[in-house]
Amino acid sequence: MELIITEKDNAARRIADILSGESAEADRQNGVNVYKWGGKRCIGLSGHVVGVDFPPEYNDWRDVEPVELIDASVEKQPTKENIVRTLRLLARDASRVTIATDYDREGELIGKEAWELVREVNEDVPIQRVRFSSITKNEVSSAFENPDELDFDLAAAGEARQIIDLIWGAALTRFLSLSARQLGNDFISVGRVQSPTLKLIVDREREIQAFDPEEYWEMFADLQKDDEAFESQYFYRDEDGNEAERVWDEETAEKAYETLESATQATVDSVSRRTRTDSPPAPFNTTQFIRAAGSLGYSAQRAMSIAEDLYTAGYITYPRTDNTVYPDDLDPEELLDTFVGNYHFGDDADGLLEQDDIEPTEGDEETTDHPPIHPTEDIPTKGELGDDEWDVYELVVRRFFATVAESAKWEHLKVVSTVGDLTLKANGKRLLKEGYHAVYPYFNTSENYVPNVEEGEDLSIIDTRIEDKQTQPPRRYGQSRLIEKMEKMGIGTKSTRHNTIQKLYDRGYLESDPPRPTRLAQAVVKAAEDYADLVVSETMTRELEEDMTAIAEGEADLEDVADSSREILATVFDDLEESREEIGKQLQQSLKEDKTLGPCPECGEDLLVRQSRRGSYFVGCDGYPDCTYTLPLPNKGKPLILDETCEDHDLREVKILAGRSTFVHGCPLCKAEEAEEAEDRIIGECPQCGEGAGSESQRDEGGETAEEHGGELAIKKLQTGSRLVGCTRYPDCDYSLPLPRRGEIEVTDERCEEHDLPELVIHNDTEQSSAGQSDESDDGDEPWELGCPICNYEEFKQRERKSGLEVIDGIGAKTAEKLAEAGIDTIDDLKDAEAETVAEQVNGVSEDRLRNWQAKAD
């Protein structure tokens, strides 16, 4: 029996279909899919199924000093027991093993892990390696016809990264967390790559905070020839002879504007035209792909997740690549020809094939592992992909089209005019030849019209204006720009940079997008700079990356590099240990600042966001137990304290992070006061304790008095900002029904015949997050006809009972079946699931989709 091992289950399914002519059948063993046909078996791993860790005696943070981890032994242990067990069972009977993991450093290491697991149970079986850049019939078939051997040097480079990252991350994380007394789920995470990345972001934030704006003035005049008007701007020559538009002295600006404002004509001094060639872009490498996807609104993590799904499905080439030069064996005409006749891309492909010469563009980086990202000959229909997947797929296709398209041409027209001793300029541009823009509509092609004028011609001045402006601070790095910066500085790799940014978000170091560092992030960076600068040094990180490259090329030894890294970390700890107390105080103060809202209205101490033992969040006074003042917060999501401050209470506003249901809660004290002031709106009788809830005889037999009945239903607003329909006899009667958090509630004259309650309509609601409703409406301006609140809630409960997971928008019957096979049968199962693990087990379901479903489930 031949055993084929791939990196993930969806790759196993795809490769099995290709090699078997789609005759392979899936068999479940230990909860793992095994694809079989003839004498072959194919199993997908779940990325790394073996992990590196310290021996168990190092697990207790309080009993083991962090510095001890530097020289601790590192051992390998299975992390996915069911997959490892299944792989071993299959390997025992294998007569040949083929490793078909991704072709990069990480994939080679995963392949080596599989090699070691096979060798544990079968010492003599031949093991071969196949490599490909796209999971298409041609590439996969060719790879299996020309197998190779595992590259143990490349795998060793990946293993070195694992070991070094474990030692650095664990030792430094424990040291900082213990120093700040921050244990449990709120530990302070530090990493070899994430720390210098964080410093980049913190340094930019410091520039923004230190920025001192300067005032300047700009002047404009609208000129007119016949009926055609265009804008001109005042300029002058600075000391270096360059054109300058900003006037830095107010008196000078006002004097110049007086001249401009009083004039009625401007005389054309010069007219110049030039034609500029606009060359097509280079092929996509990972960084440029992430940048382009970012312009479409996709985070780096999301863009790569979608690209990986498209790669596994066989629609694009491997998305982790530095290469910007197509390989010699790629025939652009042949690939273009596969798109001829396609509904979405056929016309563009036809037009490109009609060109006299098809010569692809080239970037600066040429490597031999993977080609630039481009589409394969397997073209999906739009219906086979989700909206996000189609967006990214079309981006990749059109980038390929652009790289084989002709250059565009622009005409630039510059008109310089004079008004007395003042000079004005107008810059027009016109697209003469569309070129690659016709097939790649992601770049700005807006034109600026300036009419044809002649030197010496007089133009009417029909309007003038002066604008008082200020210089602006540097912009925060967007995710794609940050990844470009990391690439230039040698921080991380093409495979890890987007994950590093996501980890910084997950660890509570970053908020918003573009990323902004929290106070904790700034304190961690400052502590490192003050006491152990190597922790945030990109130089050290870059040198380690170079060492790992040397390992991959057989020029260095894994053990030597790891030992060298241990020595560097030991010198870091020499400095840290001397300043443990100071570091702890610094971090504790920043942690408190990140949780501080403002002054307590009762005692003046700080109000802090706290977490109860049950995990819910609330606002409590730092003066506790002397002051017991508290305010509630919404019971779902994680609070994030914003910079905006309430004018009435001097408290910072709060945002609740809850996936797609994220919303700004505002000032907690305002919400509490609004709830206190809001009058309950009675809408009917309580079905649980109202007058009609039971007969007089039933009440008498039960020993209840009339005072225990007579409850009414009212629309209530809670101090958490939530709203509900609840009984007026609360807490004696706890009957309640959920309502959307936002939107004006209209009580209509229409009544429910069954429950005798008015039907409700929600206006301008953008959340619609009550029972079973989608988190987002199709149109936030359209009223939502909620109807009878009891009927709405009962319909939701019925859907939940009937279809389980299918109550979540986006989960259909087939997907629910796939999830059930992975052990996810209920909403609670979905909430508790690890997105990464499930995504690797369930075909066609990415981590991002799972996290979106989990947010909806909450």
Give catalytic residues, as residue numbers: 318
Distance, in Å, from the CA atom of 400 to the CA atom of 394, rounded to the nearest integer, reads: 10
User: What single string gives the DSSP state of each residue in 801-851?
Assistant: HHHGGGGSTT--HHHHHHHHHTT--SHHHHHHS-HHHHHHHSTT--HHHHH
Q: Which helix (H) or strand (E) holds 666?
A: strand 663-666
Q: What are phi and psi of 146, to 5 degrees?
A: -130, 65
Q: By the 8 A CB rule, do 361 and 405 touch? A: no
Distance, in Å, from the CA atom of 599 to the CA atom of 608, rounded to the nearest integer, reads: 9
Break the chain down into helix, strand, coil percent, rounded to 5.
Answer: 40, 25, 35
Distance, in Å, from the CA atom of 314 to the CA atom of 302, rounded to the nearest integer, reads: 19
Measured between alpha carbons, how far is residue 763 from residues 663, 682, 790 in Å?
A: 17, 19, 19
State the virtual CA torsion across 290, 516, 162, 291 in degrees, nearest 10: 10
Distance, in Å, from the CA atom of 179 to the CA atom of 584, rounded to the nearest integer, reads: 4
Beta bridge partners of 464: 221
| Closest to 516 (Cα-Cα) out of 560, 466, 476, 461 | 476
Beta bridge partners of 510: 517
Q: Which helix (H) or strand (E) holds 229?
A: strand 228-237
Structure tokens at 660: 């797609």
Total Cβ atoms within 10 A of residue 783: 15
State the virtual CA torsion across 791, 796, 797, 798 in degrees, nearest 10: 90
Q: By the 8 A CB rule, do 207 and 446 touch? A: no
User: What single string gives the DSSP state of each residue in 749-791?
Assistant: EEE-TTT--EEEEEES-S---STT--SS-S-TTS-EEEE-HHH
Distance, in Å, from the CA atom of 109 to the CA atom of 101, rounded to the nearest integer, reads: 9
Distance, in Å, from the CA atom of 678 to the CA atom of 659, rounded to the nearest integer, reads: 29
Q: Tell me which long-range contacts 382-387 makes (C-beta under 8 A, separation of at least 24).
A: 382/344, 385/310
Structure tokens at 805: 């997971």
Structure tokens at 241: 């002879």
Angle made by CA atoms 309, 310, 311, in degrees to the nearest 5? 90
User: What single string gives the DSSP state of each residue in 629-658?
Assistant: -EEE--SSSEEEEEEEE-TTT--EEEEEEB
Measured between alpha carbons, how far is residue 362 from residues 211, 366, 408, 632 in Å?
A: 39, 9, 17, 58
- How far apart are the two ends of the chain, measured CA to CA in Å? 46
| Closest to 204 (Cα-Cα) out of 616, 659, 514 | 514
Distance, in Å, from the CA atom of 563 to the CA atom of 736, rounded to the nearest integer, reads: 63
Is the torsion defined by CA of 829, 831, 834, 835 positive or negative? Answer: positive
Total Cβ atoms within 10 A of residue 264: 9
Distance, in Å, from the CA atom of 690 to the CA atom of 191, rounded to the nearest integer, reads: 60
Q: By the 8 A CB rule, do 24 and 35 touch? A: yes
Q: By the 8 A CB rule, do 464 and 221 touch? A: yes
| Closest to 476 (Cα-Cα) out of 526, 517, 523 | 517
